[in-house]
Structures are given as structure tokens and as C-alpha cells.
Chain A
């Protein structure tokens, strides 16, 4: 932290040497995509804090229409999923594909367009939510008018990813590439479906809810599973026993096959075969989860050394824990107790933050120095972020799960009034708010690091540009 701003960062892999090594022109837009994601991450935890505080004192900021609980909560979760998760995961996938080829990649402008449109879409969407245009569909609170903007952005990024993949040198792909590619493809599919059937030509009645549950399940289990495992597996050390290709493919398959049916609650007022089918497949998720466990055990739980390896380890553990709880909770009538309670919120947080968020932090911390050519300016902040994130996650998830169980027991007893049910959960929600605070501080540290890194990068780029103007013939290495 004592590093002077003026001196270029030392150490780290492939630091820019003397001479004008300028990175390929897609690097800067991709770096901005990641940095923009981290800005949204900080914004999301800000909204999350406001929503949490409103829980303990309902009158807090109650006179501001745009800060009412329902809107702030939706804005926070949208900023996290659409602001951070999707662009960061996509940036990682593109970076993965680009690194398969050593030749110059075409149309870097697509990445720029994608970055701009995506962030514009999120901005319009979150603004719309605060203005009261939230859709009312969980995990897809974005107003209908922001979705085409987002879709355009995603299309630009996806097309560029396919171009990069097309130019690769070896025809075979590693298993983690399959995960990332399928994640890109499936996200485009579920987003299109949900946009068309919930906004453009809205279905009638509960068919809307079914599509919305299907979208949520596929986003939080299949998409996050694919993209997150793609990230984590890329950091698993493969030297010991080659990460077994067949086992990897098996996990890939079973996750797609079973995960895509998850999400219709048992109590849903829909034709009875749907919740039953959903429950069966939720139980079957045990198969890919155990697969991941075996894979990790075979590689003796060793990860490639990098600044994100701490997050990678946690993320891998959280995947297994999340998957186990999710699939086991399909048995024993457990959902009778936990339906409509905080337990499900906690479980989702375990998956989408503990597993998926941490997987993204891991690859960002490990890979950004490689592809930008700049080391993290404040390595100590990474350790602090890891500690805050881990403590925050435990504080946020465990009490919330306890709250859910207490709430479930209370609700099943009709003599306990709903006011008391709500009040009995408050003592658990307080530590959870503290956990969110820790998580939020961690995000701020993350933002500090990426801002300085981007600034270093931009300064170098400007120097290169100036030099080019002054000495047009100067040697330049373009990879």
C-alpha cells in the first residue's frame, strides 16, 4: 500500500518491459468490462446494506419512494447479477478463448460495443427499478425496455467470443472451455426466452411464474454452475493427475441434464407433475456435485498458484456444500419447513455469492495480471478482501439459515402471529447485516485495486500512443 503512484508496479507475471509492448486492442475493453462489473458490485452491496437496515428499522429512508424496500432489494440483486456476475463471467470466457490463439484477433471493436451496451443496459435497468419499473419477476427484475440493450451488448460479446474461438490453434478444447462456452450459449437462450415470454408476448396466468422459476433455476444452477465451474476448473492444478477429461464431461452433462429442471417450488399452484419433476431432478443434482467432489479430491485439492487461489479454494468448497444442501433438501419433506422462509434466501446466497462470486474473484485476481500485463497495485488488499469475504459470507449465511428454520417452525404453528414470526427472525438478521457490511468493505478494497490497475494500464497506453506520435517508426510488439 506504500507503493508510489508514479512508479510502475513491479513483479507479477509478464510486467511490461522497457520498449513498447502494447497489449492487443481487445484487452482494454475487456478490462473495462471487468472494472465496470466491480463498480456494480460495490453499488450492489450499497443497496444491499440499505435494504438490510430497513429490515431492522422499517422507517429508515421511508419517505423516498425510489428507496422503498422492494425497489432497493431488487436494485441490489440486479446490480449483483447483471452488473457484476454476467459481465465478469463473460469477460473471463472471452479471455479464455482469446488466449487459445496467438494471432491477432479480428474486430476488437465488438468487445468495446458489448461493454458499452451492457453497462448502459444495466444502468437503464437499475434506474428503471428505482423509478418503479421493476418487473415483479425474481432474478429478472429488469424493466422490459432495458433488456434489448443488454441483449445487444451480450450478442456483441458472444459473437466476438465465437470469432476468437474460431481462430484457436489447437482444435481440441479443454473441459473448462466447454463449461464457459455452454454458459454463454445457455445464457443467451434463457434471457431470450424470458424476455419474449414475460415482456414481449407475456404468457397468461401462472405460465408466467413457471417461466420465471425456470429462468431462475437455470440462471442460478445451470448458468452459474457452468460458468463458475469453468472458472474454478481452470485454476485446478492439473499436473498431478490430468483432470480427468471423462469425469469433467460427466459433470458437464449431468449438470445440464438435471440442473435445468430445478426451481419449481413444491407448493406452486401449477399442474402437479411440474413440482414433482423439478424435485426429482433437484435430488439428482447430487450426481454432478459428487462428481466435482471426486474431481477435486483426485487433484488433491491443489490449485494453480495465483493471487486468486484462496478464493478458488473457498469457491470449490462452497459449490459442494451448496449442491449438497440443495439436493438433500429435496428429500424428507424438508421443503415443507423451509418454503417461504429465509432459508432459501441463505441457500441462494451460498450458491451465488459463496460459490459463484468467489469463483469470479478467483479468476479476476489470478488472470487480470496475465492478460493486462499489470500486477495488482496492492497485493495486501487481496488478502484482506479474502478474509472479509470469508467472514462476511459465514456471518451472512449461517444466521439466515437459522432464521429460516425458526421462521419455518413458527409459521407451521398457527398460534404464532405473523408479527411474532417476523420479530423472532430479527435477532438472526442482525449478524447477517454485519456480514453484508464485511462483504461490502471487501468489495471496496477490490474496487481500489482494480481502479489503480486500470489507471496504470491507461497511463501506459497513453505513453505508448504519445510515443507513436513522436516516433512513428518505434518498435512495437503487438501480440
Chain B
């Protein structure tokens, strides 16, 4: 019997399954993705990167930085805690509420607690339990709030305050998430290293900025010129010995664009899908960094 056509048809169906699932469906699900509002400031997120930073993205692509750097922060879990912020006046009611949470709370412990508010009273619990506790405390006339803390080794390394989400990449093309971390994750690079000149020096000679760095240098993004031959905006301020005397190192436009892109990498705003409770400090620090994220620091 010739079951050729049958095999062919079935193979076609089997394969088109994943095509529908991973090509067509995400396109529908994510095509409706738009800027969202951030928690707190309520500003639109993300904004497109400024022009120079967008050119820098292309320099990042052209030199294959993605083969050593990822741009996605992973969050292992979210910890919920309850923090007591204000004791209120009704000692007896609050005391009995606290006892209900933890029988170890006797009058002496509570008096200690009262002196050093805000204080975490429930550690590492679920969102529902935390909400219930807060309700209980508030009913007793005190004030408490839920503290949500994303955790995981990426966050402990300071690579971000929350996990990365699809919104963070809305305006990038190409999106380069990366799969190998030879160097650090760069999703929030601009938040921790906001100095463009640091990046230029690091790109020219990584070891000058980070001892024992194994990152390859990108000297070809710079020009070494005789001092005074052409008036330039700003030569690099490199340690002596790297450049022959009488010469200066000047970043090419690609290097400047790349550095602008690097400092624009900031995906640290709170979204409704990724809450975290370290309250953002008052805005308007005016660091002058152009980024795709509203300035919150």
C-alpha cells in the first residue's frame, strides 16, 4: 500500500503545530503589546531609545557583543513580607493581632518592636497571607504594608531590580537577549554604570577599568592621533603608558553611539506585571542620561 500522501499530510500537520504555536500565536499575543504605565509615577513605558543609542544598538549587533552578554534578568522567586510602619494608639488591639500572627509576640517583644519601626513582622510569605495580615493589622488601628522583593542570584548581583519582561524590548530591532554569560548581564547596565566615558575607556582597554578582565578590547572603535593634528571634542582620559606620548585616543562615532546605547540600557521601572517594593526615591535627579526608561533612581 502506498501511504506516501498520508505520511506527507501527517508530517505537514505535525510540523505546522509548532509553527502556529511559536510563530503565529506569539505574533498575535505580542502584537497587541504596547507601552504600559509604570507603577507609582504612572508614566508611559518604554520610550524608544534616543537616536544615537539606536545607532549604538547596531554597533552592538555588528560586533557580536551578544555572544558573551545576555540582556535578560532572571528572577528566581518573589518574596512577600509584611512591614509594620505605624503602631497606632490601640496597644491592646495591635498586641492581640500580632499574637494572632506569631505567638512569640509578648508585651516585651512588642515594646522593642515599637521603638524601631518600620519593622518586618512577617517574613517570606504568600501574597494572599500578606494581604490578610495587613488587613488584620489595619483593623487594629496600626499600619502595615506588603513588601514585595524579587529575589535570585541575578538580582543579588545587582543586575536588575526585577525580572525582564517582554515590554522591555518593545522598540529594539534586532532584539538580542543572548544565551551565554561570559560577562555580566547588561539589561540594566545604564542604572549601575551611567558614565559614558567609563564605557569608552572600558571598550578601549577593559583591563584599565576592571582588573583581570577577560573581555576583548575594541581598540578599532577608536583612533590614535597626534595631539593637535585635528581639534577634537574629547580625547579619552587613559592611564599613561597605553598611548605613546604626543598622541591621543579619540573615540570614533561608532564608539560614542555604542557607549550611549550601553547607558540607555535601563529596564528598572516597576510594572504591574513585575511589582517590587523598594519605593523609588523622588524623581528629578537630573542625571542627564538618555534612556528608554523614565529616570527613576
Q: Using a CB–CB distance below 8 Å, which chain A residues touch chain B? A: 54-55, 58-59, 62-65, 68-71, 73-74, 132-138, 171-173, 178, 182, 185-186, 189, 193, 197-198, 202-211, 213-214, 218, 222, 249, 252-253, 256-257, 260-261, 264-265, 267-271, 274, 277, 336, 339-342, 344-345, 407, 411-414, 418-419, 421-423, 426
Contacts and interface: CB of A to CB of B under 8 A. Distances in A.
A133 B77 CA distance: 38
Given A202-B173, A205-B166, A205-B171, 18 more contacts: A70-B63, A71-B63, A71-B64, A132-B62, A134-B64, A136-B66, A178-B7, A193-B19, A204-B30, A209-B175, A267-B74, A269-B166, A269-B169, A277-B21, A342-B180, A418-B184, A419-B214, A421-B181
B18 A205 contact: no
A423 B212 contact: yes
Q: Which 7 A-B pairs have the closest CB atoms?
A: A70-B64, A260-B18, A132-B62, A414-B156, A340-B181, A136-B61, A58-B216
Contacts of B92: none
A205 B23 contact: no
B67 A74 contact: yes
B29 A271 contact: yes
Nearest to B216: A58
Interface stretch (B126-134, B217-225, B240-248): B217-225
Contacts of A71: 62-64
A264 B25 CA distance: 14
Given A65-B220, A172-B2, A210-B26, A133 B163 contact: no
**Chain B binding surface SS class:** loop
A59 B217 contact: yes
B67 A69 contact: yes
B66 A70 contact: yes
A265 B181 CA distance: 14
Given A138-B179, A214-B22, A257-B14, A207 B64 contact: no
Interface of B: 2, 4, 7, 10-11, 14-15, 17-19, 21-23, 26-27, 29-31, 33, 61-68, 70, 72, 74, 76, 153, 156-157, 163-184, 206, 210-220
B23 A197 contact: yes
Contacts of B72: 267-269
A269 B18 contact: no
A207 B174 CA distance: 10
B47 to A, nearest CB: 14
14 contacts: A58-B213, A71-B63, A73-B67, A189-B15, A202-B173, A209-B175, A211-B22, A256-B11, A260-B14, A412-B153, A419-B210, A419-B212, A423-B212, A426-B214
Nearest to A133: B62
Given A54-B216, A411-B153, A207 B180 contact: no
Given A59-B217, A71-B64, A205-B172, A274 B22 contact: yes
Given A207-B27, A419-B213, A423-B214, A414 B180 contact: no
Contacts of A253: 10-11, 14
B285 to A, nearest CB: 26
A210 B22 contact: yes
A205 B179 contact: no
Given A134-B62, A186-B15, A341-B181, A198 B174 contact: yes
Given A260-B17, A274-B22, A341-B181, A58 B174 contact: no
Contacts of A198: 174
B153 A414 contact: yes
A166 to B, nearest CB: 12
A197 B22 CA distance: 12
B170 A344 contact: no
